[in-house]
Amino acid sequence: MPLIVALIVIVGLIVVLWIAVGREQGPSAADAAVSYALARARGDWSIAYDLSSKELRDGRTRDQFVAAHHGAYEPDASVARPHVHVENSTALSDLAVVVVRVDDLDLALRVDCERREGSWVVTAVAEA
């Protein structure tokens, strides 16, 4: 009898953990937008490539994307650790618009995001 009770408790715990892990949504659209803005402010275009949608990459490979953006902005030493925060965020189930501010550069960006294959990607970026 104690063995049956123990097995029922173990099976119950497995079911609860399975449901809890299955409901984990991962990073939000705001997280993706802040990560993109940080990568852009640091000049880390490789990370920006990872967070970008195919449309934002314009069909370029990682090396081409990094090379095209490398000269666009080179952070100086004072912006080695930029501070970014969300000013406004509107998210639906699979679309989001997030306005982030990079305080050190006095720059606000409107970042459009879309959920694809279970994660958020940046589809468009413009100064806000």
Judge contact between 40 and 48, C-beta under 8 A. Answer: yes
Domain contains 7 = no
- Number of structural domains found in the chain: 1
Q: Is residue 16 part of a domain?
A: no
| Amino acid 121: pLDDT | 93
Q: Is 11 a domain residue?
A: no
- The tens place of each residue's pLDDT in the chain, 128 residues long, gives 788 888 898 998 888 888 777 766 778 999 999 999 998 888 888 999 999 999 988 889 999 988 888 766 555 544 667 888 899 899 898 999 999 998 877 889 999 999 998 889 999 999 88
User: What pLDDT is stored for residue 23 in this prediction?
Assistant: 67
User: How would you list the strands of the sheet with 84-91, edge to edge?
Assistant: 84-91, 95-102, 107-116, 119-127
Q: What is the pLDDT of residue 123?
A: 95
* Residue 35 in tokens: 């990560």
pLDDT score recorded for residue 77? 45
Res 74: pLDDT: 57
Q: What is the DSSP string of 5-59?
A: HHHHHHHHHHHHHHHHHHT---S-HHHHHHHHHHHHHHT-HHHHHHHB-HHHHTT
pTM for the full predicted model: 0.75
**Residue 77 DSSP one-character state:** G
The answer as to whether 98 is a domain residue is yes
Residue 2 lies in a domain: no
- CB–CB of 127/109 below 8 Å? yes
> Smallest Cα–Cα separation from 87: which of 106, 61, 115, 66?
106
Q: Look at residue 122 in the predicted model and tell me its pLDDT.
A: 95
Query: What CATH number corresponds to the domain at position 80?
Result: 3.10.450.50
- Give the domain extent around 48: 27-127
